[in-house]
Chain A
Amino acid sequence: AQTVTQSQPEMSVQEAETVTLSCTYDTSESDYYLFWYKQPPSRQMILVIRQEAYKQQNATENRFSVNFQKAAKSFSLKISDSQLGDAAMYFCAYRSTGNQFYFGTGTSLTVIP
């Protein structure tokens, strides 16, 4: 089975600054999707950004961007101009060819005013 590893249980960032959350994964598949989800205290999972493995270009969504290194099996999330509303748990996820999702252990992000 695929494994997803987030090595940073907690991170903090000053408001308006930039923070990078790390994620690595292990797979033998060549075609897959990677995701970052945000889970605020409400527990509702919210899609932040996704990356298709066959695309070399890193995905970007407004203040959120990824650094996808396929050979290294690394998929980090960069949050620019951090806002108080960005505070949440962030989960990295892998979607297999069978459409199953596997999640990392999460990174709790604190935004300091």
Chain B
Amino acid sequence: GAVVSQHPSRVICKSGTSVKIECRSLDFQATTMFWYRQFPKQSLMLMATSNEGSKATYEQGVEKDKFLINHASLTLSTLTVTSAHPEDSSFYICSAIRTSLNEQFFGPGTRLTVL
């Protein structure tokens, strides 16, 4: 099946620093990728839709200046958490739509801890 990878799988950073998370579709091209946030024992919350070659679309309540998304190629989307604070600590999951299969494939997630 299709594979989506995320890097890093875990990251710990100091408050005030920025962290970049990469999401790659390994064996297919994805014009659309999604970024989710998941708090412990809670559901996935859609943060934004990442479109290759254009600006991301953010869900209501998500600060676009804090969560910068860049979809520079058909296989890579990045999420940068800027000026991270402890409340940004969470599990971040990306997904990619494989158009030919009309199916969404999820990455394994990135656990961010902000000290």
Interface residues of A (CB under 8 A from B): 1, 42-45, 47, 50, 91, 95, 98-106
Contacts and interface: CB of A to CB of B under 8 A. Distances in A.
8 contacts: A43-B93, A44-B106, A91-B44, A99-B49, A100-B49, A102-B46, A103-B46, A106-B43
Contact of B108 (A1, A44, A91): A44
Contacts of A105: 42-43
For the residues of A in contact with B, the DSSP-based class is loop
Contacts, number: 43
A47 B4 CA distance: 14
B50 to A, nearest CB: 11
Contacts of B65: none
A47 B41 CA distance: 19
A43 B91 contact: yes
